Structure 1
Amino acid sequence: MSVRTSSIIEHDHYSSIPDLIAKKRDGYELDPNEIKQFISGLTNGDVQDCHVGAMLMAMFIQGMSEREICSMTMSMRDSGERLQWPKYRGSVVDKHSTGGIGDKISIPLAPALAACHLKVPMMAGRGLGITGGTLDKLESMPGYQTQLKDEQITELISTVGCGIFSQSLELNPADRYLYAIRDVTATVPHHALIVSSILSKKSIEDLDALVLDVKYGASAFMKTTEQAEILAEWLYKVSELLGMKTCCYVTEMNNPIGFCIGNAIEIEESLDLMKYKINRSKDLEELVCEQGGRLLLLINKVQTIEQGREMIRETFQNGSALEKFRDMIIAQGVSKTIAEQLISNDDKIVNSILKLAHKHHHALASQTGFIQSIDSYKLGTIVQRLGGGRLKSTAKIDHSIGIRLLKHVGDEIQENEPWALLYANDNAANHYPKFLDDFHTAVQISSTPVAPLQRIHKILS
């Protein structure tokens, strides 16, 4: 919806908050000072919850211009403290995903980039709905601390080169406040509000380059390619206006990424990639190398995306990414002993630390053929409902719950051959009848060969 750029009433940045709401409600564009006044009011007490709900609904219904989105993003960014990296100009990068099942790309990507001598101050999030959260996965490792002070972040990036941590109370308080109100006013799924929320957090990191992964499909927030493309275009456009070199990927999220879904189990899979094990997930590897390679290209560390991909892959082959991962987790609270055990090749020791649930259940193929699709929505829901995700924000995560896929799309399978393994605990056993049908029916098998899955639908760069 178009936004009118002038009003029949004169407005300035001294207007009352209700006047600003009325202006937006009537379809007029808010100028940068007015948006700054509204966002500042969130932290100084001038704006009440009822004002926020009304303004968000006005923005939702009337839409926002490019100028408004940029102004809102910058005002949210400036509502608290910001990270700054003047010593590392030209090498500070990050990525952001809109969330998916089995999406653990950040975990091996951050140390791989650090091994390429880049700086990666990665503010990550927790699970939303059935989608897993990077911070929840990392907390599967005993002692890992996600809440860091600014001076700890500075030390971490200066010495190790990468860190994966949560947004502190001092960083972007306006976004936390707005998101909480959006969640209860049915205004979460709006492109302009999503863009300002994502980019205000990323612009706090003082980045030189950013990769954005916008997912579509049954288990993504954007259900169709058209919705994902619109969001990606807005993210790309506003990122460029904010001065960040950016690339946006539009990727498929009907099928899980990699072999593992859960928390501890996805740390295990990430470690397998960083150890470059023969049984590592190839689709996870390709996505990590693609996104990492793109960041290297954006800041001119390589001449081609192919060179970038190989530079990232080499950090797994030579063990330098694994070393950076060890240093990162030690710096974020994991004991040196546990960190050394996690990066070892002794699977028994690694399993004893990550502690997957001991009750197993296999899903068997109903016929011989080829894996056509694996329903990430069903599998993500099972993990969430058995305790591996949250049904409410205060719920405690059971890191031991997970699903291990034994087959990928395109693989051949025999009747009654296992295609997935569910890890659950005794106290979840009474839930099995609800979920076993979904577990068994989450796979579609074709009688004819199926082409390997193509994840990347579109690239905006």
Structure 2
Amino acid sequence: MSSDNILSIPDLIAKKRDGLELNPEEIQQFIGGIKTRDVQDCHAGAMLMAMFLKGMTEGEICSLTTSMRDSGERLKWPQFRGLVVDKHSTGGIGDKISIPLAPALAACQLKVPMMSGRGLGITGGTLDKLESIPGYRTQLTDEQIVKLISTVGCGIFSQSPKLNPADRYLYSIRDVTATVSSNALIISSILSKKAVEDLDALILDVKYGISAVMKTPELAENLAHSLYKVSEMLGIRTYCYITEMNNPIGYCIGNAIEIQESIDLMKYKSGHSNDLEELVCEQGGRLLLLTDKVKTIEQGREMIRETFKNGSALQKFHDMIIGQGVSETIAKQLISDDESIIGSILKLGDVHYQGISSDTGFIQSIDSFKLGTIVQRLGGGRLKSTDKLDYSVGIRLLKHVGDPIQQNEPWAILYADTDATQRYPKVLDDLTTSLIVSSSSVEPLQRIYKVIGST
């Protein structure tokens, strides 16, 4: 674009406001203006609203994503070409898949630089869960990230100020301008962070349901198709999973309690959650297939499962948390078989409430939105960004969808540190009404609705 044709920032906003397509140079000009401060908060808010209302083509989204990616430094892995992978979820209640998945993939000789996030609304964040481990550091320098990935093979860390600063800035503006739910802006935010990681393959898990951003399978599928297309345009081999989020994943909801459950899976203890195992093995197996480590998805699933059975994923988890600041003593205790020591590190609240079934029959559903709200209101999540978390708050499910249950039988335990009924008067009502029981048998929950991608 010649200097004679360069539009001002207000003119770029007006162009988008009028429903016209911005070319790559114009999008780069706008994102570059964030760094030079030619773009002020009022400009950013107006442009985001124009993008929200008028929509964006896939070409525009790809240009926005690459411009955001290039707004700061990028990780580069020329020495590991073909082996660098990651997974991202749009968020869910009890969604701790990343925590056992990253070490399992590292045990399969893949490299996993997993830049993760914190809780949003009632949804718990992977970093928040990991920070319930004393000493765990989420903020790493680029040099520390490179060392961790080169030696251990995996790391789960936060976005540093040098990586993708445009996304951090725009997200803060989206949050106060009611533009968070724009598909175009969701896609560019997710994929710009993943593109910074210099990935060879990526799994995207798009949730739908009462506690997800996308409430229906159709809305989730629409987002997943666009995520897939833009990711492929960026040169990242990608599969998108559309998964159910009306019911919690696994047996545990909270911070410390989800770390406990993740460790139980990595130890392959009897009684661990089948749906958690299914999702971890499925998504990990797909990444092994995308990187040509296996020839079939079935082989990939079994390769991931074997890392739990033989303890290699657990060892990688041990090495990863040491690499991110945890003492060798605590790391060793967490992978030991002494449940009392593990419980003393990952402490749960002393005040316990039981969810009791009022009916006899079969569990039809467990309301993930109500349970997520309980954990959030009791301090396990944030009501505002500055809130400190109470890692000890959590819910342990004793039953899953499809299980038989008797009247007056406990189906859940709530852990809290103080009188929960004073902090959240609805807590017992919401706990009780989260369970729906059917008089007739119910099929076990099917998490995976659809898979989008091509090998």
Tell me the residue number matched to 2:9: 17
- Structure 1 counterpart SS, 2:7: coil
Which amino acid letter does the alignment assign opposite residue 414 of structure 1?
Q
> Larger deviation: 184-193 or 152-161?
184-193
Tell me the residue number matched to 1:227: 219
Which amino acid letter does the alignment assign opposite residue 162 of structure 2?
E
- Structure 2 counterpart SS, 1:426: coil
1:426 Cα deviation from its structure 2 partner: 1.7
- 2: CA distance, partners of 1:12 / 1:197: 31
Q: 2:128, 2:255 within 8 Å by CA — same for their partners in 1?
A: yes
Q: 1:13, 1:34 within 8 Å by CA — same for their partners in 2?
A: no
The TM-score normalised by the length of structure 1 is: 0.97
Tell me the residue number matched to 2:167: 175
Which amino acid letter does the alignment assign opposite residue 65 of structure 2?
T
Tell me the residue number matched to 2:246: 254
- 2: CA distance, partners of 1:46 / 1:188: 23
1:411 Cα deviation from its structure 2 partner: 0.4
1:14 Cα deviation from its structure 2 partner: 2.4
1:11 Cα deviation from its structure 2 partner: 9.5
Aligned match for 1:313, one of 286, 305, 321:
305
- 1: CA distance, partners of 2:26 / 2:3: 9
Tell me the residue number matched to 1:399: 391
Q: Does 1:304 align with 2:302?
A: no
- 2: CA distance, partners of 1:77 / 1:320: 34
Aligned match for 2:43, one of 48, 51, 55:
51
1:362 Cα deviation from its structure 2 partner: 0.4
- 2: CA distance, partners of 1:14 / 1:82: 28
Unaligned runs of 5+ in 1: 1-9
Q: 2:421, 2:427 within 8 Å by CA — same for their partners in 1?
A: no
Tell me the residue number matched to 1:186: 178
Q: Does 1:384 align with 2:376?
A: yes
1:62 Cα deviation from its structure 2 partner: 1.1
Q: Does 1:370 align with 2:355?
A: no
1:279 Cα deviation from its structure 2 partner: 1.5
Q: Does 1:142 align with 2:134?
A: yes
Tell me the residue number matched to 1:75: 67
- 2: CA distance, partners of 1:116 / 1:399: 31
- 1: CA distance, partners of 2:363 / 2:21: 51
- 1: CA distance, partners of 2:432 / 2:59: 49
Q: Does 1:358 align with 2:353?
A: no
1:15 Cα deviation from its structure 2 partner: 1.5
Q: Does 1:419 align with 2:411?
A: yes
Deviations 1:207-234 (A, max 9, x none): 0000000000000000111110110000
1:66 Cα deviation from its structure 2 partner: 1.4
Amino-acid identity (%) = 75
Which amino acid letter does the alignment assign opposite residue 172 of structure 2?
A
Q: Does 1:346 align with 2:338?
A: yes
- 1: CA distance, partners of 2:5 / 2:82: 36
Q: 1:296, 1:308 within 8 Å by CA — same for their partners in 2?
A: yes
The count of aligned residue pairs is 452
Q: RMSD of the TM alignment (CA)? A: 1.1
- 2: CA distance, partners of 1:429 / 1:157: 45
Tell me the residue number matched to 1:3: none
- 2: CA distance, partners of 1:358 / 1:333: 28
The TM-score normalised by the length of structure 2 is: 0.98
- 2: CA distance, partners of 1:176 / 1:427: 37
CA gap of 1:307–1:45, structure 2 versus 1, over 3 A, is same
1:13 Cα deviation from its structure 2 partner: 6.4
Kindly report structure 1 stretches of 4+ aligned residues shifted beyond 2 Å. Answer: 10-14
Unaligned runs of 5+ in 2: none
1:433 Cα deviation from its structure 2 partner: 3.2
1:427 Cα deviation from its structure 2 partner: 5.2
CA gap of 1:192–1:432, structure 2 versus 1, over 3 A, is closer
